[in-house]
Structure 1
Amino acid sequence: MAPKLPQLQGTLFKYGSKSIQVAFRTGDFKQQVIFIGGLTDGLLATDYVVPLANALQEEKWSLVQPLLSSSYIGYGTSSLKEDAIEIEKLINYLIYEEQSEGVVLVGHSTGCQDIVHYLRTGGHCSRAVRGAILQAPVSDREYWATLPGTQPMLELAEKMIQEDKGNDLMPREASPQAPITASRYRSLLAYLGDDDLFSSDLSDAELRTRLGHMSRVPCQVIFSMADEYIPEYVDKAKLLKRLCEAMGGAEKVAIPWGNHSLSNRVQETVHCIIDFIKREGPKGWDDPWG
């Protein structure tokens, strides 16, 4: 008999007018954790999502898993800007339709870029964000640079952008997993592209410029010390320290032997997230709308 696959019971709802703009909520509480996945992710993106949802219910928090235009294979034709707009729509829905008393954002992989970008550019609803957790903030640029063919494709993307063809699709070999525009390819893989937030070769000043605003909210960085998407030459402990310092003193959590999605460290991951939320949640905080 095949093992039982993960299941959650909850509410599926629309938070915007597009067909993709739906979200799944577990629990019915006034405080929500919003989980934002990475490239190719959608619902139930990581193995820790189900136990996290169950643990959050014990603390009277809901887990909300949104689908964004960039979910699944949509990432190549979307952008951090569009993701931020949709995160704003979602939080707006939670405030005005669900009477939210505050949210905590949890990002996995490229979802971390979404959170950083949203908290830099977000609208009025970003005031409802009581904390942020970045799980596996890695550099797409540094990882893809280890793959053959990346540099010629990056040069092609730059050429297309110069020719005002940034929204045109790259050749299939540029991104076999999903169609990708020249602009998104450059954003992910160029030095100081919009997505280039966590690279080990960025200077301390460059990291502060890109991450310094994260000091406005309590922030936890959960780093996988055996992350398969971080090149071997990168000193992970040093990078984690530099990222947290650039964020104004974010909490460091290093998971020994943890892989990128922490599928081999599920309970430890859930414990870290719940502990952060219990310490940094809304209790005693100013009303963000007061």
Structure 2
Amino acid sequence: MNLSTSASLASTSSSSSSSWLSGIVRGRPGSFKMAKNSSNPPSAASAAAVPVVDGAGPVNKKNQLRGVMFKYGPKSIQVAFKTGDYRRQVIFIGGLTDGFLATDYLMPLATALEAEKWSLVQFLMSSSYSGYGTSSLKQDALELDELVNYLINKEDSEGVVLLGHSTGCQDIVYYMRTNTACSRAVRAAILQAPVSDREYNATKPDIASTIDLATKMINEGRGSELMPRTEDSDTPITAYRYHSLCAYNGDDDMFSSDLSEDQLKQRLGHMSHTPCQIIFSMNDEYVPEYVDKKALVNRLSKAMGGAEKVEIEWGNHSLSNRVQEAVQAMISFITREGPKGWDDPWS
């Protein structure tokens, strides 16, 4: 998805009567599919292909990010890194085991956002790296809210776009359900690789007995205790988080293909109030072979009130083999019709 933006944010007027949010809502029902032969060299207009001069822009010739690191909360892990110094931010929320620079598209995305006068914010939370096993979606939402609050009060943010990768998509869905005051500053959400941890884990041997053990521990009031170490995992994980990720109807069970229409709507329906884009990799290695990916994307979009669908042929889970397509789709969505003024989230 190579960059083709409709308007530079630098030239937009904050006094226009038409809001960016209303503009992107008008564009939501659309859907497009990436070309299969997407390995062609990027065009000169591609943001990921924007020439980078040492000393300018967020990425230098040594493939290093320039930016500002800051604390957004009281915990030692609550550190964030921001490229660009703009009042509109895209917040990247990684998946299990992720931290800074979790996906290959983040560097070119930072360059593309710089051209459009947006900042990219990456942050660490209690669940980053190996911390996910002793954390929860609730804890992630609390810390994400602290970050958004920091950007509003310390950076004079005019609004944020949430970009989730893998389990980061669950974080976005959970956070937007909390309906906190700061969540009103979320202009839009991008779900990249919203896949089912439960369906993937179901392909592992002896999973049923391990889920039974987690359920037993929870019923005994020991949900916060660690599960016995398994052969395929070096990460300590509580009974609660294991059940959340692996059991039917667990807290993390949001994108499974066997959920009914009503179940999907119950889990995702509130996202209809937020402009959303679903980016789904059609060769995602974490989606079992039996799952009809196209049908699943359609069902997720419907449950979210008609979210925009982007299907990337041959794309893997993190889109490391389709970086250009990923950046183009994200930038096209973020900058659609520009912002022509910002709706004050507190009014």
* TM-score (structure 2 length as normaliser): 0.81
Q: 1:270 and 1:255 mapped to 2: Cα distance?
A: 12
Given the alignment, which residue of 197, 201, 207 partners 2:264?
Answer: 207
1:16 maps to 2:73: yes
Cα shift readout 1:68-104 (whole Å, capped 9, x = no counterpart): 1000000000000000000000000000000000000
The AA in structure 1 aligned to 2:335 is: K
Larger Rg: 1 or 2? 2
**Residue by residue, what CA displacement relative to the aligned partner does 1:222-244 show, whole Å, maximum 9, x if unpaired?**
00000000000000000000000
Instruction: Report which stretch shifted further, 170-179 or 15-24.
Output: 170-179
Distance 2:274 2:223 in 1: 34
1:148 corresponds in structure 2 to 205
Q: Distance in 2 between matches of 1:173 and 1:228?
A: 22
Equivalent-residue separation in structure 1 for 2:137 and 2:62 (angstroms): 32
Asked if 1:276 is matched to 2:326, the reply is no
| Distance apart, 1:195 and its partner CA | 0.2
C-alpha distance in 1 between matches for 2:205 and 2:148: 40
Q: Does 1:221 align with 2:278?
A: yes
| Aligned counterpart, 2:131 | 74
Matches within 5 A, 1:79-228: 79-173=136-230, 176-228=233-285
Name which of 41, 45, 48 aligns with 2:98.
41
Cα contact 1:42–1:72 (8 A) shared by 2: yes
Residues in 2 aligned to 1:157 and 1:281: alpha-carbon distance in whole angstroms:
48
SS of the aligned residue for 1:20 comes to: coil
Q: 1:232: which partner in 2?
A: 289
Q: Which moved more, 1:142-151 or 1:254-263?
A: 142-151
- Equivalent AA in structure 1 for residue 340 of structure 2: K
Q: Give, in whole Å, the separation in 2 of the partners of 1:189 and 1:62.
A: 35
Q: SS state of the match for residue 76, structure 1?
A: helix
Residue 67 and residue 264 in structure 1: after superposition, are their counterparts in 2 closer, same or farther (change >3 A)? same
1:102–1:282: 8 Å Cα contact kept in structure 2?
A: no
Deviation at 1:286, TM superposition (A): 2.1
Structure 2: runs of 5+ lacking an equivalent: 1-60
The structural deviation recorded for 1:7 is 1.8
Identity of aligned residues (%): 70
Distance 1:114 1:282 in 2: 25
What does residue 305 of structure 2 align with? 248
Instruction: Give the residue type in structure 1 aligned to 2:212.
Output: E
Pair 1:149–1:7, CA change in 2 (3 A): farther
CA distance in 1, matches of 2:83, 2:315: 26
The gaps in structure 1 that reach 5 residues or longer are: none
Q: Is the 8 A contact 1:36 1:66 kept in 2?
A: yes
Corresponding residue of 2:8: none
The residue identity in structure 2 corresponding to 1:166 is G
- Aligned pair in 2 of structure 1 residues 174, 85: CA closer, same or farther (>3 Å)? farther
2:114 match: 57
CA contact (8 A) 1:40 1:74 kept: yes
CA gap of 1:175–1:97, structure 2 versus 1, over 3 A, is farther
- The alpha carbon displacement at 1:283 in A equals 2.9
1:153–1:174 Cα contact (<8 Å) kept: no
3-state SS of the aligned residue for 2:300? helix
Q: Is the 8 A contact 2:158 2:342 kept in 1?
A: no
Structure of greater relative contact order (alpha carbons < 8 Å, 6+ residues apart): 2
| Mapping 1:258-277, distance limit 5 Å | 258-277=315-334
Q: Which moved more, 1:119-128 or 1:196-205?
A: 119-128
SS of aligned partner of 1:130: strand
| CA contact 2:126–2:140 (8 Å) conserved in 1 | yes
C-alpha distance in 2 between matches for 1:41 and 1:12: 18
